[in-house]
Amino acid sequence: MIGIRGWRSRAFCGAAVLALTALACGNEEDAPPPESVIPEVQRFEMNGFVVPVRENDDPTLVDSCLLLTSSDPKGMIQEPLAPLMRMTDVCLAFAESTPQLDHSLTVELRYPGPVEIEEQGGVPTNLDQFWIAEGSSVGLMGGVQKEIQQLEGIGDFAIWYPISGGMSLHAYWQGKYILAIYVRGFDPQVGLTWSKEVAAKAIHATTELEAKSAKQG
């Protein structure tokens, strides 16, 4: 497994995907431990899929796996899926035939970390701020700055860009929600259409959750 220190607090979502790649693939030099020492992962059913429970269940934040499983990953990938994986607020579906994630869907919905709030002033609201926050992860995923395009009508600020074998979409709203989507193994325009639908679903779900919490409070 690739060790990644502080990826969440620095919004290096691409690094999280690379870490999940290592979990899925493994390598000969870093053999997995015997089954007797592998901690059992609790799972439950969600929208017809069996998913791992969240490490830190936050009732104020919509589950990334809820967004992914409700967006027809089988219909998108159109191949048998490996068991869904999760790392903190990242949820991942990938084709069983390509554990190296060449054919995969990744969704992350989270709040900004302390470093983002203290050093970057919160979530990005323009392209320059996005590059400061996410430029390293864009490069890790094979993207380049000049290909980043802003999207209108998705949250307060959203962009997309091609990556190696696919595309990525990032969206931000209410100054406290960060959504990152990675789609690999598809034409970027196909991935963009799917990602826009997931983004719309995420914004709607967070709005509903906030309204429900306000009513209960």
**Torsion of Cα atoms, 199 then 48 then 103 then 169, to 10°:** 10
Q: What is the enclosing helix (H) or strand (E) of 130? A: helix 127-140
> Taking 50 as the threshold, does the pLDDT of residue 34 lie above it?
no
Is position 109 within any domain? yes
Range of the domain at 172: 13-216
Confidence band of 113 (pLDDT split at 50, 70, 90): confident
What's the pLDDT score for residue 116?
A: 81
Confidence bin at 67 (pLDDT 50/70/90): very high
Q: Which of 8-22, 26-40, 114-128, 171-185 has the highest mean pLDDT?
A: 171-185
In the chain, the number of structural domains is: 1
* 94 belongs to a structural domain: yes
pLDDT for the residue numbered 153: 96
Evaluate whether residue 2 is within a structural domain.
Answer: no
In-domain check, residue 8 = no
The burial class, CB within 10 Å (0-12 / 13-18 / 19+), for 52 is: middle
In a domain, 138, yes or no: yes
Of the two residues 213 and 184, the one the predictor is more confident about is: 184
Rounded CA-CA distance 147/162 in Å is 7
Task: Give me the percent of the chain exceeding a pLDDT of 90.
Answer: 71
pLDDT of residue 216: 84
Res. 17 pLDDT band, cuts 50 70 90 = low
In the predicted structure, residue 28 carries a pLDDT above the cut 50: no
Residue 196, domain member (yes or no): yes
pLDDT of res. 102: 92
Q: Tell me, yes or no, whether 82 lies in a domain.
A: yes
